Structure 1
Amino acid sequence: MKIILSIFFVAIACHGLAQTPSEAALLKFSNKIFKWETDNQVDSLEKTFEPKFVVVGASGEIQTKKEYITRLRGGNFVHNAIDIQDCSANILNNTGTVIGKGIFTVTINGKKVSLRLSYIEVFTRPEQHRSWTLLAMHASALQN
């Protein structure tokens, strides 16, 4: 039930902005990635990340695809819940971005914390009408 409510609130939070159908589809894909993170579906994430994928965490730490996947599989970093409060998408040719804000509840080395973050995701695709892949993510801590 918690997962269903989370998805519902994400859909509401992201639905209010005027988005093209393509941008709305990209938002839906972004939400699917967040669900995979909270469900610990690392194999699905790995297939979605570009080979040159990079993530910059709120602490400024930079991780490659291999490093991030290893971290997720290691169990020392777990996404417990992601509550997106605001998001929007933009697409230009074969590049898409999703920016937003939310509460990310994670367990790091056994300690559960909730972080209020802004984020940007950068998506790419080889050709229009092909599947999106995630090239980069960056998160920044917001003041409460």
Structure 2
Amino acid sequence: MKTIVISTGLMLLALAGFSQSPDEAAILKLSGKVFSWEVENKIDSLDQTLAKGFTAFTSAGDRQDRSAYMATLTGGKVVHNNIVIEENFASVVNNTATVGGKGKFTITINGSQKTIHLSYLEVFIRANPHDPWKMLALHAGLLPN
């Protein structure tokens, strides 16, 4: 069974230790949901969260637009089995937010499962403070295991 483990202790420590704003806490929560949706294959939820101009840079260095990224997730070639976030942080300035972090990503590519250590950076935007956040960009980079 696919599971996702989010380091809530680290998140709570970060929230208390760095006195994050409500917007920063909300964007960290949304980032966690995005990872959950990838593991749980909730493509509709993920699709609603991606901005129209979404761009992803994979850990292999490939650039994918929104349709290519969604095709990768729905095509079965890449499956997110488990994601464990080790650390994360958020910054919100007006209607732009960034989330950065590190984690262990267990994925299956072409039937072969492996765990990779990644850093990531997500960029979220919204038209105004009353609109939902949309993910505009995602970048993943390989870290040594």
- Work out whether the TM-score is over 0.5: yes
Q: Give CA deviations for 1:122-141 in whole Å, capped at 9, x if unaligned.
A: 00000013210000000001
Q: Is 1:124–1:135's contact at 8 Å kept on the other side of the alignment?
A: yes
- Give the SS at the match of 1:127: coil
Which amino acid in 2 is paired with 1:13? Answer: L
In structure 2, how many angstroms separate the alpha carbons of the residues matched to 1:106 and 1:134? 21
- Give the SS at the match of 1:30: helix
RMSD: 1.4
Gaps of 5+ in 1: none
Please name the residue that 2:3 is paired with. Answer: 3
- Give the SS at the match of 1:36: helix
1:3-82 to 2 correspondences below 5 Å: 3=3, 6-7=5-6, 10-17=7-14, 18=18, 19-82=20-83
Normalising by structure 1, report the TM-score. Answer: 0.93
Residue 43 of structure 1, CA deviation? 1.2
In structure 1, how many angstroms separate the alpha carbons of the residues matched to 2:103 and 2:36? 14
In structure 2, how many angstroms separate the alpha carbons of the residues matched to 1:98 and 1:113? 25
Identity in percent: 45
Q: Is 1:51–1:65's contact at 8 Å kept on the other side of the alignment?
A: yes
Cα pair distance change 1:2/1:53, threshold 3 Å: closer
Residue 80 of structure 1, CA deviation? 0.3
The aligned length equals 141
Q: Is 1:79–1:105's contact at 8 Å kept on the other side of the alignment?
A: yes
Gaps of 5+ in 2: none
Consecutive aligned runs of 4 or more in structure 1 exceeding 6 Å deviation: none
Residue 2 of structure 1, CA deviation? 7.2
In structure 1, how many angstroms separate the alpha carbons of the residues matched to 2:2 and 2:22? 28
Which amino acid in 2 is paired with 1:143? Answer: P
Which amino acid in 2 is paired with 1:52? Answer: G
